[in-house]
Amino acid sequence: MQIAGSLCVVSGASSGIGKATATELARRGAKVLLVARNAERLEQIASEIANAGGRAWAFPADLSKPQEVEALGQAVLEAHGVPQILIHSAGTGAWRFVEETSYQEFIEQMNTPYFAAAFLTRAFLPAMLEANQGFILSVCSPASRQVWPGAAGYIAARWALNGFTEALRADLYETNLKACAFFPGKISDSEYFSRNPDTENRIPRVGRFLPEISSRQAALGIVRAIETEARTMFVPWQLGAFDLLARLFPRITERLAWSSGAKRKTLRVKG
């Protein structure tokens, strides 16, 4: 799908992968609409993009709130028309064992990324179907396909996002709209782990064999996924190789992830 001249809505655009993706899309001539809660940051990123010769507008919204998403959708359609590209990169949630997770945290983990992506898609899909053109990409996670200990609510929300994206692709069969699940490895320069404390230390040690990537490298992968209309994409490629290994030999990769993953500090159920 052609990026230059297209209208792109990027969620999670105030930080990390979303911010880097918005910047790369604007650099390639797209009109970019930046969505996240932090209005000040979005305005600053929009002016950085404008100073570099690009076109971007801030649309602050809390994507966990259906009314805000609905209002955002209407405001975008009125001011800019129908988007051709939707990028779902809003996501949050600390990694916790089930018994460490409060009821409220389970809900919040599902809010972003899953409900945010479902609501934002819902807001634009009727107009995009009418235009019969579009590319919808979800920034998933290795956790959207693999599991490890100590992150149940986080992992469930990433499986939900991946499941939604796969189901959306089925819904879009026989239209000119495409859905893509994008899987980045660990991002070296994202604020994700400082925003979600006591999470980074729970990455299974086996994950250290996979190279980290910058948010710009993730964004360049997203650009490639759009240009090639990919169904799925893993960046770095080694993550895709590990995923294939997990499909072929699930017990081996399970064992590696489980045994090198987080351990409960106090409660031991086995052993």
Ligand X SMILES: NC(=O)c1ccc[n+]([C@@H]2O[C@H](COP(=O)([O-])OP(=O)(O)OC[C@H]3O[C@@H](n4cnc5c(N)ncnc54)[C@H](OP(=O)(O)O)[C@@H]3O)[C@@H](O)[C@H]2O)c1
Q: Which residues of the chain form contacts with ligand X (CB under 6 A)? A: 11-12, 14-18, 36-38, 41, 62-64, 89-92, 111-113, 116, 139, 141, 184, 186-187, 190-192, 195
**Closest to ligand X by CB, 57 or 131:** 57
Nearest distance from C-beta of residue 223 to ligand X, angstroms: 16
- Token pair, residue 9, equals 């809505």
**Closest to ligand X by CB, 128 or 161:** 161
- Token pair, residue 71, equals 């209002």
Q: Which residue has the closest beta carbon to ligand X?
A: 91
Nearest distance from C-beta of residue 34 to ligand X, angstroms: 9
**C-alpha to C-alpha distance for 161 and 11, rounded to whole angstroms:** 14
Alpha helices in 132-231 (DSSP H): 152-171, 192-195, 215-228
Q: Are 195 and 91 in contact (CB under 8 A)?
A: no
Nearest distance from C-beta of residue 266 to ligand X, angstroms: 27
**Closest to ligand X by CB, 186 or 202:** 186
Nearest distance from C-beta of residue 269 to ligand X, angstroms: 27
Kindly provide the residue ranges of all beta strands, DSSP E only, lying in the chain, ordered along the sequence: 7-11, 31-35, 55-58, 85-88, 134-139, 177-184, 232-235
Nearest distance from C-beta of residue 207 to ligand X, angstroms: 10
**Closest to ligand X by CB, 130 or 198:** 198
**Closest to ligand X by CB, 30 or 157:** 157
- Which residues are within 8 A (CB) of 114 and not within 5 positions of it... i.e. 6 or more apart? 157, 160, 161, 164
**C-alpha to C-alpha distance for 155 and 27, rounded to whole angstroms:** 33
